[in-house]
C-alpha cells in the first residue's frame, strides 16, 4: 500500500488571466483530484503577490470544499502571526461545521509576504512569530471541549477538534510539531536545505498527543509531469522563470513556458534557482514514478503533497493526473 498523496495549490494567476480564473481553476483541479484519489487539497496564504489568488484562504477553502464531496480541504498554510487565534478558530470552525470531517488547518509562522505588507495586515507587529507556540495552544483550546467557566469561545469551533498541522522549512517547526504531538509538513518545494534534518528531528522528538499517536511527516515536492520528459521540462520553465523573478524581486503573474531557459536567467542566477527547486520531479509517468519513489525512500515520508506551477490549466490537470497514475504504479510495483 503506497502512502497518501495530496495537492498544495497556490491558486496561481497565469499571465493573461485574472484572479477569478485562478480561483475557478483551483476548484476545477480539486474536483479532478478527488476523482484521481488525492487525499487533501490545501491552499496557501500569500499577500500582495500579483501571481497568487489565495490571500483570503478560508474563503477559497470554502469555494473549493463546496465544489467537492470527499477530498479533505485545508490550509497549507494559514500564517498564524497575521491573525488573532480566535478569528482563525471561528473561520475554520465555520468551515468544519459546513463540511464535517473534511477540513484541515495547517499553520505557518512566517508572514507569507514582505514586512511592509505584514505591517499593513497586522497594523503592528505585536502578533509576531515569537508568540507562535502560544497561539497554537490557544487555537487548540478553542477547538477543544468547552471548559467550566470558559468566557471566550469560538462559535462555531468549540468542540469540533479541527485537525491542526504545523508547517515549516527549518528545524523550528519540526521541533514544535514534535513537542505538541502534531502532524508536520515540510516546505521542501521551495526550501529543501533542511529537509532531512527536520525529518529526523521531528521523529526523534515526537511526543504522542490526543490528536496524533505517532509521527506523521508530509513532504512537499514540485511535480511537473507530461507525456514525455521533453514536454515536462518545457512546462517546468514556467516555475524556473517564476523563481528567478523572485530572486530579482520582480515577481508577477505566472509566465508561460519558454523553449530555452538559458535565454532568461544569467549564469550567476541559475545555481541559486536550481538549489531552491532541488526538490522537484519533472518528466514522464515513469520518470515521475522513479523520482517520487526515491524521495519516499530517502525521507521516509508518511505522505507526499505535490505542487505544480504550470501556466496552462489543461497541462496542469494532465500533470496531476499523470502524477496520480505514477503513484498508483508505485503501489503496483510493491505488490
What confidence tens digit (pLDDT) does each residue in 195-254 have? 999 999 999 999 999 999 999 999 999 999 999 999 999 999 999 999 999 999 998 999
Got the DSSP string for 151-198? ----TTTTT----EEEEESSHHHHHHHHHHT--EEE-TTT--TTHHHH
Taking residues 137-154, report their average pLDDT: 93
- pLDDT digits over 149-170, tens only? 899 999 999 999 999 999 999 9
Which grid cell sits at 44?
496557501
Q: Indicate if the pLDDT at residue 335 is higher than 50.
A: no
Express each pLDDT in 35-44 by its tens digit.
999 999 999 9
For 36, residues 6+ apart whose C-beta sits below 8 A from its C-beta are 320, 321, 324
Residue 60 to residue 68: CA distance in whole angstroms:
13
Calpha distance 251→245 (Å, rounded): 5
Specify whether the CB–CB gap between 119 and 89 falls below 8 A: no
User: Going by C-beta distance under 8 Å and a sequence separation of 6 or more, which residues neighbour residue 76?
Assistant: 8, 42, 43, 44, 106, 167, 185, 220, 305
Mean pLDDT, the chain, as a whole number? 93
The domain locations on the chain are 5-334
Q: How many CB atoms lie within 10 A of CB 28?
A: 15
Strands of 1-156, DSSP E: 5-9, 40-43, 72-79, 103-108
pLDDT digits (tens, 9 = 90+) for 61-80: 999 999 999 999 999 989 99
Question: For residue 32, which of 64, 74, 75 has the smallest C-alpha distance?
Answer: 64
Q: What's the pLDDT band for 125 if we cut at 50, 70, 90?
A: low
Classify the phi-psi angles of 173: left when phi > 0, otherwise alpha if psi is within -120 to 50, otherwise beta.
alpha
Confidence of residue 113 (pLDDT cuts 50, 70, 90): low
- The pLDDT value recorded for residue 115 is 72
Nearest to 47 by CA among 123, 127, 113, 110: 113
Question: Quick one: pLDDT band at residue 330, thresholds 50, 70, 90?
Answer: confident
- Of 254, 267, 262, residue with least CA distance to 308: 254
Q: For residue 304, which of 130, 192, 190, 186 has the smallest C-alpha distance?
A: 186
What CATH class is the domain 5-334?
alpha beta
Amino acid at each position: 500500500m503506497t502512502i497518501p498523496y495530496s495537492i498544495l495549490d497556490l491558486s496561481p494567476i497565469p499571465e493573461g488571466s485574472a484572479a477569478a480564473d485562478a480561483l475557478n481553476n483551483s476548484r476545477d483541479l480539486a474536483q479532478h483530484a478527488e476523482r484521481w484519489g488525492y487525499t487533501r487539497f490545501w491552499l496557501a496564504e500569500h499577500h500582495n503577490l500579483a501571481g497568487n489568488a489565495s490571500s483570503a484562504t478560508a474563503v477559497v477553502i470554502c469555494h473549493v470544499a463546496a465544489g467537492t464531496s470527499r477530498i479533505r480541504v485545508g490550509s497549507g498554510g494559514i500564517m498564524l502571526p497575521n491573525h488573532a487565534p480566535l478569528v482563525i478558530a471561528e473561520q475554520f470552525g465555520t468551515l468544519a461545521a459546513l463540511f464535517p470531517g473534511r477540513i484541515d488547518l495547517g499553520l505557518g509562522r512566517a508572514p507569507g509576504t514582505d514586512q511592509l505588507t505584514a505591517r499593513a495586515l497586522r497594523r503592528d507587529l505585536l502578533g509576531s512569530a515569537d508568540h507562535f507556540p502560544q497561539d497554537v495552544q490557544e487555537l487548540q483550546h478553542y477547538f477543544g471541549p468547552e471548559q467550566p467557566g470558559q468566557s471566550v469561545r469560538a462559535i462555531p469551533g468549540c468542540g469540533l477538534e479541527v485537525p491542526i498541522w504545523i508547517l515549516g522549512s527549518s528545524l523550528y517547526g519540526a521541533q514544535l510539531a514534535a513537542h505538541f504531538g502534531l502532524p508536520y509538513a515540510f516546505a521542501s518545494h521551495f526550501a529543501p536545505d533542511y529537509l532531512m534534518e527536520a525529518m529526523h528531528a521531528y521523529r526523534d522528538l515526537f511526543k504522542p498527543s490526543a490528536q496524533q499517536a505517532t509521527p506523521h511527516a508530509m513532504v512537499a515536492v514540485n511535480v511537473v509531469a507530461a507525456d514525455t520528459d521533453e514536454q515536462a521540462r518545457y512546462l517546468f520553465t514556467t516555475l524556473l522563470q517564476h523563481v528567478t523573478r523572485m530572486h530579482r524581486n520582480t515577481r508577477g503573474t505566472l509566465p508561460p513556458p519558454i523553449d530555452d531557459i538559458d535565454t532568461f536567467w544569467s549564469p550567476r542566477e541559475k545555481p541559486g534557482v536550481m538549489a531552491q527547486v532541488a526538490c522537484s520531479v519533472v518528466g514522464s509517468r515513469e520518470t515521475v514514478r522513479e523520482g517520487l519513489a526515491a524521495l519516499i525512500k530517502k525521507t521516509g515520508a508518511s505522505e507526499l503533497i505535490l505542487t505544480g506551477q504550470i501556466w496552462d490549466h489543461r497541462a496542469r490537470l494532465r500533470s496531476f493526473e499523470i502524477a496520480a497514475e505514477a503513484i498508483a504504479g508505485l503501489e503496483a510495483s510493491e505488490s
